[in-house]
Amino acid sequence: MRITVTVNGEQHTGDVEPRLLLVHFLRDELGLTGTHWGCDTSNCGVCTVWLDGTPVKSCTVLAVMADGHEVRTVEGLAHGAELDPVQQGFIACHGLQCGFCTPGMMMTARWLLDHNADPSEEDIREAISGQMCRCTGYENIVRSVRWAAEHGGGRGTADAGTEPAPGREEPVPGREEVRA
């Protein structure tokens, strides 16, 4: 099938098999290897990207489902050479160890801060609850997100399109429904 997907602001058109997962399209077809591939069962969350401003686990979305939509990956967080405050926070507070879960955690953290500029520790833990980290024990990840919130990383720093549609409840990252 022929699809056109806007990824990190750049339009990509190509032919894909109908069964190709979005994570494989991003990694194998577009070379965006920042999105990691973990479990293929939606349990770990390392493959989290945004689809039209909503966090989704890209191992549960077919590439054809993204046709005509906008995808944002971890590569799209930085603005040129300037790191996003979430990325800076993960560096400053050692929010990563092996780095495998980091892209998904960062995408979820960015979404959270765009919707809650001053999240509590409980808010942060709820937001990342759909993702697994086997190394950090989550303490430094929570600190990293708080650091980002305290250093200008709140609402308004991300691209447009992060607001939910009127009357639509905001999804909790990692617990969203897969949509076409």
Residue 14 lies in domain? 2-76
Helix/strand/coil percent split, the chain, to 5 = 35, 15, 50
Structural domains of the chain, count: 1
60 falls within a domain: yes
pLDDT value for 14 = 94
64 falls within a domain: yes
17 falls within a domain: yes
Q: How far is CA 146 from CA 40, 88, 118, 157, in A?
A: 30, 11, 8, 15
Rounded CA separation 144/169 (Å): 26
11 falls within a domain: yes
Mark the ranges of the chain whose per-residue pLDDT is less than 50.
156-172, 174-180
CB 62 within 8 A of CB 22: yes
50 falls within a domain: yes
91 falls within a domain: no
Structure tokens at 117: 């500029």
CB 56 within 8 A of CB 73: no
The model's pLDDT over 24-60, given as tens digits with 9 standing for 90+, comes to 999 999 999 999 998 867 889 999 999 999 999 999 9
Secondary structure (3-state) at 94:
coil
pLDDT value for 153 = 82
Q: pTM for this one?
A: 0.84
H helix or E strand, kind and range, residue 4: strand 2-7
pLDDT value for 176 = 45
Secondary structure (3-state) at 164:
coil
Residue 60, domain CATH: 3.10.20.30
